[in-house]
Amino acid sequence: MTADIQVFSTPTCPYCTKVKQWLDENDYEYEEHNVAQDKDKAREMIKETGQKGVPQTFVGDEAIVGYRPEKIEEAIEKLEE
């Protein structure tokens, strides 16, 4: 299953790791952006949500801040409708 999923994360963030593990376990493909290294992506993330914290998961146009698999699942289901 492919959806338009992007994960904005840092290498040292345990909740970022949990989001990516959850996506992997559920066979969702996603694009990861390491905002610790990619300052342009960090600025893009902050511009979209006004939040600096990670993880931030974008499903289509919807942003989910933090480790919230139930919200990510809902957003994926809406995108597939």
Domain of 61: which CATH number?
3.40.30.10
Separation between Cα atoms, residue 38 and residue 8, nearest integer Å:
10
Mark out the alpha helices in 6-80 (DSSP H runs): 14-25, 39-49, 69-80
32: confidence class by pLDDT, cuts 50, 70, 90: very high
Containing domain of residue 64, as a range?
Answer: 2-80
Q: pLDDT by residue (tens digit) across 49-78?
A: 999 999 999 999 999 999 999 999 999 999
Separation between Cα atoms, residue 12 and residue 79, nearest integer Å:
30
Separation between Cα atoms, residue 62 and residue 18, nearest integer Å:
19
80: confidence class by pLDDT, cuts 50, 70, 90: confident
Q: What is the mean pLDDT of residues 9-27?
A: 97
Structural domain count of the chain: 1
Token couple for 7: 């994960």
- Decide: helix, strand or coil at residue 34: strand
Token couple for 1: 């299953």
